[in-house]
């Protein structure tokens, strides 16, 4: 195998592949990237047995072939090469080495047999549809902060992507929750997605998918089966196992009868919460909200470290209310707001609070209060 490729193309492909590779591996081949050169394309494939990413890049292939080399080492080498360099990779099968040349630099890396490299079994996908990158980016970006990190409740360790009934017809919906906060994000249902089975996309997959979605003009093909989900662009295919579990009925925790309405500038609110939370104890991070007519007072009282208070002008016309929240949860939810104003709907000081952007119901967040 021998091919020449521009550093920029190689960097992009190898960076995506090596991020899938687990740093601590008991199986040596899983630390490697499988490189396959044929025609005028080189394919880079990496896996951790749960996720597989295949990246294609144009190259001048002198001799077709395939081999595997250490993904992280290759990434480090390419990253440190000068911009605009032409990189040549040559495999010496007999010696079990790959030589990497760029300008006056030469590197020699050990290879492992390509036959040992595990390729994810192909799946019959029941549903395939196409969605614009910005649509998928919004769905997953706005939901992922609420993904649970508790391994015991493994079915919450991802984003639940499914078809649901929205206010004005069927929607593609992403939901994530950890029991303390919940995010429910809707997008218009793409053609062909109607019969899709709901799947829980794992946290790591959500992180890898995000790297595919920076180009606003990109169309992404999404394929779903009972056990796998695949996201494909013209140059990258990301395949992942889905979490084998049942996502809980989240509709039960979204409050319907909250009537006390607070409207506040989201950015000003987030900055104020961040300021007063500076003195709160790390463990509880509790912030108290005191609501009066058109006035919100944020306060923190931490006996061991101090106290803080800040007042904000808001739109609120209901009866007086005192309610406490975890500052981190409030900040994360306030940071999801794209428009100027966030609308909070309260019931009582012990009831879940609902937040949305203005009157837009396509992004709804729920946060549980805490005693302060």
CB-CB contact of 235 with 214 (8 Å): no
Exposure string of 84-105, with b = 16+ CB inside 10 Å and e = fewer, is ebebbbbbeeeeebbebbbeee
Mean pLDDT of 251-268: 94
Torsion of Cα atoms, 154 then 155 then 157 then 161, to 10°:
160
Which residues are bridge partners to 158 per DSSP? Answer: 202
Q: Give the number of C-alpha atoms closer than 13 A to the C-alpha of residue 348, restricted to the C-beta side.
A: 2
Q: Which residues have C-beta within 8 Å of that of residue 283, sequence separation ≥ 6?
A: none
User: Which runs of consecutive H residues, i.e. helices, occur in 21-150?
Assistant: 71-80, 133-143
Fold of the CATH domain 127-252? DNA Polymerase III; Chain A, domain 2 (3.10.150)
pLDDT score, position 22? 86
CATH architecture of 2-112: Roll (3.10)
Q: Which of 17-31, 33-47, 62-76, 146-160 has the lowest mean pLDDT?
A: 17-31
- CA-CA distances (angstroms) from residue 154 to 161, 226, 361? 16, 17, 28
CA 194 to chain centre: 24
Mean pLDDT of 78-100: 95
CB-CB contact of 98 with 91 (8 Å): yes
pLDDT score, position 285? 83
pLDDT score, position 13? 93
Residue 97 has which token pair?
A: 């080495």
pLDDT score, position 168? 85
Q: How far apart are CA 48 and CA 17, in angstroms?
A: 10
* pLDDT tens sequence across 320-348: 999 999 999 999 999 998 888 999 999 99
pLDDT score, position 365? 97
Q: How far apart are CA 124 and CA 266, in angstroms?
A: 44
Mean pLDDT of 132-157: 95
Mean pLDDT of 21-37: 92
Q: Is the pLDDT of residue 284 over 80?
A: no
Determine the CATH number of domain 255-367.
Answer: 3.10.150.10
Mean pLDDT of 252-271: 94
% of the chain at pLDDT higher than 90: 87
CB-CB contact of 28 with 70 (8 Å): no
120: DSSP letter: P
pLDDT score, position 302? 83
Show contacts of 40-44: CB within 8 Å, 24+ apart.
42/3, 42/5, 42/13, 44/13, 44/14, 44/16, 44/17
Residue 234 has which token pair?
A: 């013209």
Domain borders along the chain are 2-112, 127-252, 255-367
The kind and range of the H/E element at 194 are: none
Q: Is the pLDDT of residue 360 over 90?
A: no
First-residue to last-residue Cα distance in the chain: 66
> In the structure, what pLDDT confidence band is assigned to residue 26 with cuts at 50, 70 and 90?
confident
Residue 23 has which token pair?
A: 């740093």
CB-CB contact of 88 with 4 (8 Å): yes
Mean pLDDT of 94-105: 94
The residue behind tokens 């609501």 is: 291
Q: Is the pLDDT of residue 283 over 70?
A: no
Q: Is the pLDDT of residue 173 over 70?
A: yes
Q: How far apart are CA 186 and CA 166, in angstroms?
A: 8
Q: Is the pLDDT of residue 219 over 90?
A: yes
Mean pLDDT of 336-363: 92
Q: Is the pLDDT of residue 132 over 70?
A: yes
127-252 and 255-367, same CATH topology: yes
Mean pLDDT of 75-93: 95
Q: Is the pLDDT of residue 50 over 90?
A: yes
Q: Is the pLDDT of residue 237 over 70?
A: yes
Higher-confidence residue of 262 and 25: namely 262
């Amino acid at each position: 195998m021998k091919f020449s490729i521009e550093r920029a193309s190689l960097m992009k492909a190898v960076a995506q592949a090596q991020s899938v590779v687990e740093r601590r591996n008991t199986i040596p081949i899983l630390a490697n990237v499988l490189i396959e050169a044929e025609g005028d394309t080189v394919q880079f494939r990496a896996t951790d047995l749960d996720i597989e990413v295949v990246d294609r890049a144009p190259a001048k292939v002198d001799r077709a072939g395939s081999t595997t080399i250490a993904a992280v080492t290759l990434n480090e080498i390419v990253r440190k090469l000068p911009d605009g360099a032409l990189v040549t990779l040559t495999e010496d099968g007999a010696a079990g080495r790959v030589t990497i040349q760029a300008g006056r630099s030469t590197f020699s890396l050990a290879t492992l047999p390509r036959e040992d490299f595990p390729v994810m079994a192909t799946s019959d996908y029941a549903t395939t549809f196409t969605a614009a990158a910005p649509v998928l980016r919004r769905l997953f970006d706005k939901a992922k902060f609420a993904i649970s990190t508790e391994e015991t409740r493994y079915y919450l360790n991802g984003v639940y992507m499914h078809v649901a009934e929205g206010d004005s017809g069927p929607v593609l919906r992403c939901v994530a929750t950890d029991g303390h906060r919940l995010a429910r994000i809707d997008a218009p249902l793409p053609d062909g997605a109607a019969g899709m089975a709901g799947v829980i996309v794992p946290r790591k997959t959500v992180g890898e998918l995000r790297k595919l979605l920076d180009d606003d003009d990109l169309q992404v093909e999404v394929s779903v089966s009972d056990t796998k989900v695949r996201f494909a662009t013209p140059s990258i295919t990301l395949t992942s196992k889905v979490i084998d579990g049942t996502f809980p009925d989240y509709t039960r925790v979204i409050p319907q009868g909250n009537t006390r309405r607070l409207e506040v500038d989201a950015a000003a609110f987030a900055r104020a919460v961040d300021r007063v939370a500076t003195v709160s104890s790390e463990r509880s991070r509790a912030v108290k909200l005191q609501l009066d007519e058109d006035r919100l007072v944020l306060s923190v009282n931490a006996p061991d470290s101090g106290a803080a208070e800040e007042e904000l002008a808001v739109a609120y016309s209901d009866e007086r209310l005192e309610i406490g929240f975890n500052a981190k949860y409030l900040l994360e939810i306030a940071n999801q707001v794209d428009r100027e104003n966030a609308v909070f709907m309260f019931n009582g000081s012990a009831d879940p609070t609902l937040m949305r952007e203005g009157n837009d119901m396509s992004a709804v967040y729920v946060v549980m209060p805490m005693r302060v």
